[in-house]
Amino acid sequence: SLLFVDLDHFKEVNDTLGHNAGDLLLQTIGPRLQAIVREDSIARLGGDEFGLIVRDPAAAETVAERIHETLLKPFKVEDLSIPVRASIGIAVYPRDATSTDTLLQRADLAMYQAKAAHSRHTFYTAGSDHSSREHLELAAQLPAAIAEQQLVVYYQPQVDLSTGSCRGVEALVRWQHPEHGLLGPDRFIAMAEQTGLMHELTASVLEQ
């Protein structure tokens, strides 16, 4: 099995503490992951992404849980204790792919599905390529959707039960997509977080 590990909200560490602190954090994550699998079975794939090979496919889920456990033990960075969370995608050879590139791609797809579902780890499933392609298309369209005011806001009343009067409203954002119709926040909020668009999305909602 190939485990594709992506750190959640790592950009916040770089933005808040600086890239040097982010690099120090990555350097301390590596040895913890190496303690779980053999040294020749792990690689940093780039940025905040790591790949791990688990030679026994039946042990993949157990290894994924061990990764989560070891990352949640706080890391010391500039006198701060920082727990790290990760999203993990798992692809199995030869069931999911027989080539290195395809196996890596499908583990990557599974990771994005785990991140979107707020699940700690997800196995690649046949047919998820189509949904991932749609996800990529929506991610590419989201900046223009915000700029062109395709995001609309619905208001849910907050009622004082003792008087029956409306004391306020909750603003609920939706995406009025020109092709797919009205999309709920589960289709694009996590996407906005992953692509660094939450500031623009939030500003659009507040303006409305």
CB atoms within 10 A of CB 76: 11
Please answer whether residues 124 and 111 qualify as being in contact, where contact means their C-beta atoms are separated by less than 8 angstroms: no
Measured CA distances, 51 to 19, 69, 178, 193, 198 (Å): 22, 17, 38, 23, 28
DSSP three-state, residue 89: strand
Q: Is 129 among the residues known to form the active site?
A: no
48, 79, 101, 186: which one is catalytic?
48
Q: Count Cβ atoms within 10 A of the Cβ of residue 139 and give its class: 0-12 exposed, 13-18 middle, 19 or more buried.
A: middle
Residues carrying an active site annotation: 48
